Amino acid sequence: MPKFLNKYVRKFHRWLALPFIGIVITLMLTQGTSIGNLVQRIQQVVIITMVITGAYLFLLPYWAKWQRRSRAESR
């Protein structure tokens, strides 16, 4: 399961990067309009999703190291 999760979280996080860039540029150009308000709501959801997946990917090496150490100690 962790390999499956790692693989698809990475792909999902990378996939979100390009729409996020487009959202930021659109928001900068339409700030203060009704379209800008709608884009800002969408941006908030995308940011939360990217933060969660990014935190998982950031902590993944530490988690793997901790698991290796605990397996080595139990032997």
Domain positions in the chain: 2-74
pLDDT in tens, 1-48: 678 888 898 899 999 999 999 999 999 999 989 999 999 999 999 999
Q: 30 vs 74, which has greater pLDDT? A: 30
pLDDT for 75 equals 75
CA distance 10 to 57: 7
Q: Quick one: pLDDT band at residue 71, thresholds 50, 70, 90?
A: confident
